[in-house]
Amino acid sequence: MPARRGPLPIDPIAEAHRQWVRQGWYEVADGMAAITSVMRVQQIMLSRIEDVLKPYKLSFARYELLALLMFSKTGLLPMAKIGERLQVHPTSVTNVVDRLESAAFVERVPHPTDRRATLIQITQVGRDVVASATDELNRRVFPDIGLTSSELSELNAILGKYRFLAGDFIEDAPQAPWAVAPQA
């Protein structure tokens, strides 16, 4: 990975927006800039998170799976349910579970009533590592992402609306405190 340079002298997304308008694509320039900005912010946030998770030998995907298991009632979920909750393809779940299992953070357990299903259970080692990693994220990343409390509420509401309109969850799903009634 190349060494990180300082801030750029221009905003490349604003420049891309300017170029879109210059090409006559002004009616889609704002959408292009919004999508490109969200993608860049995702890269920045993921980098901060993975810097914290690296000493725990976790990627964000592995952390999410461990956290899901830790928050489940029994610490045990079927592979299919994990994929559904994390909104990822079954192959991705298998790859993440393989890595977590090789680190002794989870173990595969036969389903007691369905021979075709496999359950994934968090181990004590997995519980310890996800608890420590969560403490570190709560200390170093989540308290200050660079936005005020009201900006965070507004951002969460906007992103929640976008996810709802994209079909991420049903209208009657339990709502977060920042959620506003979805409107098309």
- For residue 8, what are its two tokens? 């750029």
Can you state the angle between helices 60-71 and 26-53, rounded to 10 degrees?
70
Neighbours of 17 (CB within 10 A): 20
User: Cα-atom radius of gyration of the chain, to the nearest Å?
Assistant: 20
Residue 131: per-residue pLDDT: 98
- Determine the Cα–Cα distance for residues 28 and 82; give it in Å rounded to an integer: 36
Three-state secondary structure call for residue 176 = coil
Q: How far is CA 118 from CA 82, 103, 133, 182, in A?
A: 11, 18, 26, 37
Instruction: Report strand pairing: 106-110 vs 76-78.
Output: unpaired
- pLDDT at residue 10, as a whole number: 94
pLDDT at 183: 53
Whole-number Cα distances in Å, 93 to 59, 76, 86, 108? 13, 14, 9, 12
Interval 37-74: pLDDT, tens? 999 999 999 999 999 999 999 999 999 999 999 999 99
Longest CA–CA separation in the chain, Å: 63
How buried is 172 (Cβ within 10 angstroms: 0-12 exposed, 13-18 middle, 19+ buried)?
Answer: exposed
pTM of the predicted model as reported, rounded to 2 decimal places: 0.85
Which regions of the chain are under pLDDT 50?
A: none
- Which residue type does 156 have? N
